[in-house]
Amino acid sequence: MAKKTFFVTGTDTGVGKTTVSAAILQAAKEQGKRTLAMKPIASGCETTSAGLRNDDALILQSVITESVPYDLINPYAFEPAIAPHVAARQAGRTITAQRLVGFCRGLQTYPADLLLVEGAGGWRVPLNDRDTLSALPRELNLPVILVVSLKLGCINHSLLTAEAIRSDGLKLAGWVANRTESVAMNCEQETLSYLLEHIGAPCLGVLPWLERAAPEMLAGHLEIEHLFEI
């Protein structure tokens, strides 16, 4: 049974949730931890001989220590790179929060020290006309790790997302600042200082921009011991 499970969300799409998740998993592996991960919903998949495959889900599969089938890591895979609820409708499928909860609970039965569940987009990404993806961590009462892309507007996006997480009754376990552009944002240090003071959760690390962000090159920039104390 997975001892610790966290939900990884972002302030928006394209902020590096997979990069951060993979780095956390790598850091845990280097500490001798057994790890699992899942990306329940993925749009933007490629057709392969084995079926639809998503690059982000494959990255997670490559870095975890435990061997599990791809379909357990990414149960909902859609080809077009569009909003998941639209992709599901076009594919004639329906995504429900309860179905996702079932997939997650299934993976939680596997023995591991750490399981990361990576979201899609931001906190309020729709699953259907009623539910948003935030229903999954809410139903499972999962602590949340927030990924913040260091760019103009990130203070507002970060504080609003942190507020939404807490208003849903969940614990913000920590956050990671991720440099997603080769040129640092203006007044980056001032922005980081403000976030450190106002997010109200531990900063697990600040990841540098790398042209090829390999997990083993980023793991050393993280301090994840706090996650195993929650």
Catalytic residues: 39
Which residues are registered as beta bridge partners of 148?
177
Q: For residues 114 and 224, give the distance between their C-alpha atoms in angstroms, rounded to a whole number.
A: 11
